[in-house]
């Protein structure tokens, strides 16, 4: 009896011990143990790519492990998302996501979108309301008054879902009607805006600010929460009476589904440290990317609010994916 | 400050030992990248971008620019030797350039391409220096309706001037447009002909189309029992025969000048313009040639003109990027990103804010063109000798390079598979005696036409009059109508004659 008891108890205990020691090993295992792959749903060269590459270099210096930016553009972000969703949940493959790509994913995959684990937020690109220099309006109120005087005559340019959402929320809040003219990117939309072929575009500040300085565009307001240090004289949309516009342009990190929360917190702590680096800060300041680092919980909250705003927008504007 | 002092400043930057070195490195890498099929300047510059972080901004941009126009030079080499165009613009070079190579005149074709590119590069650089602000204004004033009309003119011209049956060219052009529709619709955001495949939702990549239709199909054709191209290529001559005869040179240099002018002007326009430069030059040369039937059979003007247009356009494409901060193609978008990283904001203020960088870059383009000529002329002998390789050794290597290039486009196998598919289609075209060029033009210009047409109509709130009330657009449409009439009337007359003779 005793012998029989020992014959299965001992291996069981040994097994339990092995599990425990392995668990302890996993927690002690240094992160990152090898190179980290940061998958980006954009081609090289754009603002998000530059931001991600700067962040990768900073993280590299901090951890001593290479951080590789892997551009997987296409499919409105679906291709990059699929790559990361299929990766091992060990923190060595991460997704650099933005408000727009997550919205696209939501739109295309709906509830079937992969359940990525939130890691942390990087920050957001500041947006502004740019109008053509031929417009007499110098404030948002002037612009709305003029649009009311000529209903349906003004055009609004949009290049991304985020710009579309900002324009839609503005039209809803002000009750004015404008014709939406879609573009592939700011490079195409800007000539038409400068020449007054379209009258307004909600753009990232970094894309339009230099034309304001050259007198080729007007900036009526920013979509920031408060006046920025670089533009102390430009009012925010909230000050102009349109506080309901959700700021677009968030950049954040996601991990593959089933990544342990403790690991996500560790990565977030490292990312927060990397974001403190002065050189990276300097680059982001030039890019007008406001650093706003937060851990998994803050990001989960942010994503919940974002998702709600996007779904409202999709419902209101009847934007649907292909009905299969 | 006048032009002379600007250029003096520019050359003082470009001729520093350090920048000369970066210019040479850029030109060298660019030539290599251009020669390797499918591997384009976009992928290369994206890869090398992080390496430039430590450099001075002017050195970084000088090297990256060298890669860009070096690739334009190198790209013509594979087009001529192997009928493997890696970019839209070198599709045209493949037409007569490869025919020349098949007739054992690869050396002459490469030489005229190099000299034409050099001539064009130098004069376009002067143009950039002298009239950049004026050309900037032209680019800005070009409205969506003007773009749509220009593209329509390009499509009409491609069909009316193509070799062989008009019905076949119209059919292949329309087929190309249909393939161009694959992807996500810009206005509604819905997918078209993507069948739920994520790799198709951004459309089909040009590299897959061009390498499949031209390169892969050409290999299949050569491997057919009785395929003769390989034999022709083998006696492709010694370096001594790559000299141009006096008659050839007299045909080539005016074509170079015309190509430079067309390419430089169209290169300033975003998107469609750069594509149209080489095609427009080819069509112009064919239209004004004394014996247009030589085109497609290895006419030297058909290489000289488009190659010059290409290179001129490559230089003037910098104008909207630098003076407006508006990139006209993928490479320029990357350059813009590179400059931003270095804390330089290309745009209306660059000439006053960073004169050293602006004029240094302009001067370095001239230096780079000299380097490219020095690099490329001796290489011609080497390339021609490559053709003496047994075809059984050459083609597997070419296929592998093509596949690697296609893979590098989106780091995925999807492009490789698509390339194989277009290879089959290209072989079908060969058997049916259809030209693939109208297909490529339809594929590239069709989506641009749709986009600009819809945008013009949205902007005019549904009024078609916008196409006739604007001077540019009205001129282009009138030209297109004239071309159609000139082609249709003789064809109709002939048809009537046939009908009469049959009836009688």
More confident position, A313 or B337? A313
Under a CB-based contact definition with an 8 Å cutoff, are residues B199 and A79 in contact?
Answer: yes
Chain B residues whose CB is inside 8 A of the A57 CB are 50, 53
Under a CB-based contact definition with an 8 Å cutoff, are residues B214 and B38 in contact?
Answer: no
Cα separation of the two ends of chain B: 77
List the domain boundaries for chain B: 3-227+247-503
Cβ distance B50 to A195 less than 8 Å, yes or no, reads no
CATH 3.40.190.10 given to domain A127-222: yes
Q: Please state the rounded mean pLDDT for residues B121-149.
A: 83
For the cut 80, the answer to whether the pLDDT of residue B408 exceeds it is no
More confident position, B375 or B239? B375
Chain A residues 196-225 with a CB less than 8 Å from chain B: 197-198, 210-211, 213-214, 216
What is the DSSP secondary structure assignment for residue A95, as one 8-state letter?
E
Q: For B439-461, how does the pLDDT look when each residue is reduced to its tens digit (9 = 90+)?
A: 988 898 888 899 899 999 999 88
Band of the pLDDT at A138, cuts 50, 70, 90? very high
**CB burial string B380-416: b at 16+ within 10 A, e below:** beebbeebeeebeebbeebbebbbebbbbbbbbebbb
List the domain boundaries for chain A: 36-124+248-316, 127-222
Give the lowest-confidence range in B137-151, B334-348, B373-387: B334-348
Chain B residues whose CB is inside 8 A of the A195 CB are 140-141, 143
Under a CB-based contact definition with an 8 Å cutoff, are residues B260 and B278 in contact?
Answer: no
Token match 């939702």: residue? Answer: B201
Please tell me the predicted confidence (pLDDT) of residue A267. Answer: 95
For the cut 80, the answer to whether the pLDDT of residue B413 exceeds it is yes
Backbone φ and ψ for A38, nearest 5 degrees, come out as: -105, 105
Cβ distance B142 to A70 less than 8 Å, yes or no, reads no
Cα separation of the two ends of chain A: 65
Tokens of A180: 């939406």
User: A36-124+248-316 has which fold?
Assistant: D-Maltodextrin-Binding Protein; domain 2 (3.40.190)
Query: Quick one: what percent of chain B has pLDDT higher than 70?
Result: 91
Supply angle C-alpha B480, B483, B485, rounded to 5: 110
Give the lowest-confidence range in A56-60, B195-199, B394-398, B489-493: B489-493
- For residue A97, what are the β-bridge partners? A252
Q: Identify the CA nearest to A67 among candidates A37, A89, A87.
A: A37
In this predicted complex, what is the ipTM? 0.79
Backbone φ and ψ for A122, nearest 5 degrees, come out as: -95, -50
Chain A residues whose CB is inside 8 A of the B199 CB are 74-75, 79
The partner residue sitting opposite B337, judged by closest CB among A49, A191, A192, is: A49
Q: Identify the CA nearest to B95 among candidates B361, B279, B292, B228.
A: B279
Q: Please state the rounded mean pLDDT for residues A122-139.
A: 93
Please tell me the predicted confidence (pLDDT) of residue A1. Answer: 40
Residue B308 and residue B257: Cα distance in Å, rounded?
8
Check if B349 contacts A (Cβ < 8 Å): yes
Nearest CA of chain A to the CA of B188: how many Å? 8
For the cut 70, the answer to whether the pLDDT of residue B276 exceeds it is yes
Chain A residues whose CB is inside 8 A of the B189 CB are 107, 161, 319
Q: Please state the rounded mean pLDDT for residues A196-204.
A: 93
Nearest CA of chain A to the CA of B338: how many Å? 7
For the cut 50, the answer to whether the pLDDT of residue B138 exceeds it is yes
Q: For B460-496, how does the pLDDT look when each residue is reduced to its tens digit (9 = 90+)?
A: 888 899 899 988 899 999 988 988 887 777 766 666 6
Cβ distance B198 to A79 less than 8 Å, yes or no, reads yes
More confident position, B288 or B345? B288
């Amino acid at each position: 009896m005793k012998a029989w008891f020992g014959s299965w108890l001992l291996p069981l205990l040994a097994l339990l011990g092995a599990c425990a020691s392995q668990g302890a090993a996993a927690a002690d295992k240094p992160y990152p143990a090898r190179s980290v792959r940061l998958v980006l749903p954009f081609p090289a060269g754009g603002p998000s790519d530059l931001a991600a590459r700067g962040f990768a270099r900073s993280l590299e210096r901090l951890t001593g492990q290479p951080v590789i930016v892997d551009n997987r553009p296409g499919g409105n972000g679906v291709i990059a998302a699929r790559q990361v969703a299929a990766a091992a949940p060990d923190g060595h493959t991460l997704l650099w996501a933005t408000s727009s790509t997550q919205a696209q994913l939501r739109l295309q995959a709906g509830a079937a979108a992969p359940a990525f684990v939130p890691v942390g937020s990087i920050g957001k690109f500041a947006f502004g309301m740019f109008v053509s220099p031929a417009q007499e309006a110098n404030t948002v109120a002037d612009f709305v008054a003029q649009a009311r005087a000529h209903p349906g005559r003004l055009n609004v340019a949009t290049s991304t879902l985020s710009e579309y959402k900002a324009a839609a929320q503005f039209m809803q809040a002000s009750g004015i009607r404008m014709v939406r003219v879609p573009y592939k990117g700011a490079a195409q939309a800007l000539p038409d805006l400068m020449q007054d072929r379209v009258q307004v575009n909600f753009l990232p500040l970094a894309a339009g600010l230099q034309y304001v300085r050259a007198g080729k565009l007007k900036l009526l307001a920013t979509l920031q929460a408060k006046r920025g240090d670089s533009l102390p004289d430009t009012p925010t949309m909230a000050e102009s009476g349109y506080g309901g516009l959700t700021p677009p342009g968030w950049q954040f990190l996601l991990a593959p589904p089933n990544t342990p929360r403790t690991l996500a917190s560790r990565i977030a702590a490292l990312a927060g440290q990397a974001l403190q680096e002065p050189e990276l800060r300097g680059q982001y300041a030039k890019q007008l990317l406001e650093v706003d680092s937060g851990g998994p919980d803050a990001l989960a909250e942010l994503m919940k609010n974002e998702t709600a705003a996007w779904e409202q927008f999709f419902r209101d504007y009847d934007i649907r994916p292909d009905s299969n | 400050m006048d032009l002379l002092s600007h250029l003096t400043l520019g050359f003082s930057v470009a001729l520093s030992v350090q920048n000369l070195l970066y210019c040479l490195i850029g030109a060298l890498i660019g030539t290599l990248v251009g020669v390797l099929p499918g591997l384009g300047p976009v992928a290369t510059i994206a890869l090398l971008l992080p390496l430039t972080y430590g450099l001075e901004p002017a050195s970084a941009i000088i090297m990256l620019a060298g890669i860009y126009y070096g690739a334009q030079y190198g790209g013509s080499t594979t087009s001529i030797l192997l009928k493997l165009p890696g970019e839209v613009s070198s599709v045209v070079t493949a037409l007569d350039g490869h025919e020349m190579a098949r007739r054992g005149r690869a050396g002459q074709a490469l030489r005229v391409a190099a000299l034409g590119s050099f001539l064009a590069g130098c004069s376009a650089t002067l143009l950039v220096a002298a009239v950049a602000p004026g050309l900037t204004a032209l680019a800005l004033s070009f409205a969506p309706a003007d773009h749509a009309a220009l593209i329509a003119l390009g499509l009409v011209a491609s069909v009316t001037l193509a070799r062989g049956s008009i019905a076949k060219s119209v059919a292949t052009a329309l087929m190309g447009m249909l393939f161009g529709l694959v992807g996500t619709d810009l206005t509604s955001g819905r997918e078209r002909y993507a069948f739920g495949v994520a790799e198709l939702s951004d459309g089909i990549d040009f590299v897959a189309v061009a390498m499949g239709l031209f390169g892969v199909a050409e290999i299949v054709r050569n491997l057919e029992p009785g395929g003769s191209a390989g034999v022709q290529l083998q006696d492709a001559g010694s370096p001594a025969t790559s000299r141009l005869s006096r008659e050839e040179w007299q045909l080539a240099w005016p074509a170079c000048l015309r190509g430079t002018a067309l390419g430089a002007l169209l290169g300033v326009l975003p998107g469609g313009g750069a594509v149209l430069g080489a095609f427009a030059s080819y069509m112009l040369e064919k239209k004004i040639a004394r014996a247009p039937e030589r085109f497609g059979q290895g006419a030297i003007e058909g290489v000289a003109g488009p190659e010059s247009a290409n290179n001129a356009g490559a230089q003037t494409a910098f104008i909207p990027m630098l003076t407006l901060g508006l990139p006209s193609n993928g490479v320029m978008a990357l350059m813009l990103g590179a400059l931003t990283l270095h804390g330089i904001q290309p745009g209306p203020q660059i000439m006053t804010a960073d004169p050293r960088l602006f004029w240094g870059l302009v001067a370095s383009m001239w230096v780079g063109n000299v380097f490219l000529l020095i690099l490329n002329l001796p290489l011609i002998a080497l390339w021609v000798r490559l053709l003496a390789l047994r075809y059984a050794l050459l083609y597997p290597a070419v296929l592998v390079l093509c596949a690697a290039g296609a893979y590098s486009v989106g780091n995925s196998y999807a492009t490789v598979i698509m390339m194989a598919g277009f290879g089959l289609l290209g072989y079908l075209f060969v058997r049916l005696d259809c030209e693939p060029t109208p297909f490529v033009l339809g594929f590239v210009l069709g989506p641009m036409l749709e986009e600009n047409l819809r945008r013009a109509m949205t902007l005019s709130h549904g009024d078609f009059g916008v196409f006739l009330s604007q001077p540019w657009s009205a001129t282009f449409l009138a030209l297109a109508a004239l071309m159609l009439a000139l082609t249709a009337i003789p064809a109709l007359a002939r048809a009537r004659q046939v009908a009469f003779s049959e009836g009688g």
